[in-house]
Structure 1
Amino acid sequence: MPLTQEEINQVTESYRLLDPEQKNKLGKAQLTSLFNDLKLDLTDKQKDVIIDGMLACNQKANLQTCINTVSCLHDQDELGILKIAFRGLDQNCTRKLSLDQAVEITEVLKKQVTREQLSESLSGNTEKGFSFSKLAKVLLDITIPENVDPFSGIGEKSKCCLLI
């Protein structure tokens, strides 16, 4: 269920309080405060990964990005959360995550997938890593073309899912 107007207003009000100069750009500390103000049901680790994903490619988070992200979390949009978390963990923009990073993604998504199950999905070649498409298939059973870029949509509408 999408955010209600009241919930959108709450995000907007909290955002405005953290952006007194009205630059429409929040950094990590401000986003952490925003998430705390909104009392989002996330662990500190989940917050860090999501916030890092919001700030991928040296971006600052504008109000619409915050509303979209909170909506994604509120609606438990697993594909959207996967995309944000993937960005947050792929700090070098390699478009591949290691097995350890894939395990972290399962924690962010609250998926009960073991390290062994993830490793098996790589057919024994753990150096190959996980693409966004591979993780969507393994964790969500959603088929996405291999050439979909999880970083598309930063600063424009996403080609993969309507987020950020």
Structure 2
Amino acid sequence: MPLTNEEIVEVINSYNLLDIEKVNKLNRSQIVSLFQDLKIPLTDQQKDVIINGMLACNQKATLNNCINIISCLHDHDDLGILKICFRGIDQRRTRKVNLDQAVEISQVIGKPMTKEDLSKSIPSNISKEFTFSDLSKLILGINIPENADPFNGIEDRSACCYIC
């Protein structure tokens, strides 16, 4: 169920209290405070990876970015959360993650898989690297195009766009 108007107002009010300079951009510590204010139940690992994903483009998160991410978390939008986690892990934008990183993403999403599970899932994957599409299928059971880009909507030095 989408965020209610009241929940959106709560996010906006909390965001505005943290955006002291009124520049519509929160940094890492402010986002942590926002999640705490809104009582978003995340482990430290989840918080780190999700915030890294939120900050993947210009190291700041706008109000719209925060509303979109909080909406993904609230709605349990696994594909949207996977996208943000992939961005948070793939800091160099290679569009591939290694086996350990894939395991970490599965844990953050709450659908833990072992190295063995992931290794067996794509026997032809000699390099043990996984694309966003691979992880969508393996972790979520959702088939998306192989060329799906987890960084779509982000351009260098632009405002982030989270399409969840």
Deviation at 1:120, TM superposition (A): 1.1
Note the alpha carbon deviations across 1:109-129, whole angstroms, 9 max, x for none.
100422211111231635240
1:53 Cα deviation after fit: 0.2
Identity of counterpart residues, as a percentage? 61
CA drift of 1:59 comes to: 3.9
Residue segments in structure 2 that go unaligned for 5+ positions in a row: none
Aligned length: 160
Greater relative contact order (Cα < 8 A, sep 6+): 2
For 1:72, give the aligned amino acid.
Answer: C
Q: Per-residue displacement from partner, 1:108-162 (whole Å, max 9, x unpaired)?
A: 110042221111123163524000000001111111111111000234656xxx3
Counterpart in 2 of 1:51?
A: 51
TM-score normalised by length of structure 2: 0.92
CA contact (8 A) 1:52 1:89 kept: yes
Give ranges in structure 1 of 5+ residues lacking alignment: none
Residues 126/17 of structure 1: CA separation in 2 closer, same or farther (3 Å cut): farther
Alignment of 1:1-164 (within 5 A): 1-123=1-123, 125-154=125-154, 155=159, 162-163=163-164
Q: Give the TM-score normalised by structure 1.
A: 0.92
Most deviating of 143-152 and 78-87: 143-152
Amino acid at match of 1:106: S
C-alpha RMSD of the superposition: 1.5
Are the aligned partners of 1:86 and 1:150 in contact in 2 as well (CA < 8 Å)?
A: yes
